[in-house]
Amino acid sequence: MAEFKPDWIVAMGGGSPIDAAKAMWIKYEYPEVTFEDMCKVFGLPKLRTKAHFCAISSTSGTATEVTAFSIITDYQKGIKFPIADFEITPDIAIVDPELAHTMPQKLTAHTGMDAITHAIEAYVSTAHSPYADALAIHAIEMIQESLVKSYNGCMASRDAMHDAQCLAGMAFSNALLGIVHSMAHKTGAAFADQGAHIIHGAANAMYLPKVIKFNSKNEEAKKRYGVIADYMHLGGETLEEKVDLLIAYLRKMNDELNIPHCIAKYGADGLPAEKGFVSEEIFLERVEEIAANAILDACTGSNPRQPSQEDMVKLLKCCYYDTEVDF
């Protein structure tokens, strides 16, 4: 890139290649900027002094084509770091559903659950607004209608999911995210030395029900989860019932999409296994450090209920063993 000196950068693919291109864009414009500098939340220098950016998404989940985020993995540290700044929002996004038609079934499942996590976290975020709310709710309705059908091969539903994930991306790029993503970022590569990664969308799918229960101790978050449940026509009389029905629905979606419910049952191939690739011993050795890193993640600040170190450790244990969140 430095040699060719482009005035437009065109990135095509799923979240990882487009996110990598965003980081390359920063280094192209400011070669002296370090990775640590990039990770300062909303601290980037002004871009577009050399090039503009076009993103063309071929998967239906990350919505990086319309967001102010890029996720970069430090493989030596085993940590995924979010770069967050409106400067890296693409100038042009091409959202063509046909590009997603060849997604494998597992990728369809994982990216789809990433998208619904974006929409739900954006809706309950402390930075929510009427503008982001409208995008998030409609994305949730579309994903409820289309994700499982898309997974099972319906191309009309695959098309709808490509639009839905983009709406969810516009929602969270404005309203931000929460600790489902903090935990997914900090567990994703934490066990790479054990033979695999916890795929981002699958991590979100496993952790989302646990975090909803944790966040529902916050009254405003509980009301907002209730609104989501109402738009999804899940029933329930009290807010507590609506929260539990939302959690049950999301767990049912995981079953229909062949996604495990917990890390202990997460196979190295990303599918449910009797014994996952992360042993209990290794998990317990690392959980304190993972929890500390998750609290420092850029997504934690906009979560509706702020976790302590003890809370985060307990939440991660619930996500490992698939136990109830009662704190």
**90 and 46 Cβ atoms separated by less than 8 Å:** no
Identify the band that residue 78 occupies on the pLDDT scale cut at 50, 70 and 90: confident
In a 13 Å sphere around the CA of 6, the CA atoms on its Cβ side amount to 13
Write down the mean pLDDT value for the chain.
Answer: 97
269-290 pLDDT per residue, tens: 999 999 999 999 999 999 999 9
237-264 pLDDT per residue, tens: 999 999 999 999 999 999 999 999 999 9
Task: Give the mean pLDDT of 69-86.
Answer: 91
In sequence order, which residues have a C-beta less than 8 Å from that of residue 326 and are 6 or more positions away?
A: none
Per-residue confidence (pLDDT) for residue 184, from 0 to 100: 97
3-state secondary structure string across 132-164? HHHHHHHHHHHHHHHHHHHHCCCHHHHHHHHHH
Please say if the pLDDT value at position 296 is more than 90. yes
- Distance separating alpha carbons of residues 128 and 145, to the nearest angstrom: 24
**86 and 42 Cβ atoms separated by less than 8 Å:** yes
- Distance separating alpha carbons of residues 217 and 227, to the nearest angstrom: 16
Please say if the pLDDT value at position 8 is more than 90. yes
Encode 141-154: b = buried (16+ Cβ within 10 Å), e = exposed.
bbbbebbbebbeee
Residue-range domain boundaries for the chain: 8-94
The hierarchical CATH code for the domain 8-94 is: 3.40.50.1970
In sequence order, which residues have a C-beta less than 8 Å from that of residue 14 and are 6 or more positions away?
A: 57, 58, 59, 61, 62, 107, 111
Please say if the pLDDT value at position 138 is more than 90. yes
Per-residue confidence (pLDDT) for residue 247, from 0 to 100: 98
H helix runs in the chain, sequence order: 15-29, 35-38, 105-124, 130-151, 155-175, 179-188, 200-215, 219-231, 239-256, 280-296, 309-321
Task: Give the mean pLDDT of 178-187.
Answer: 97
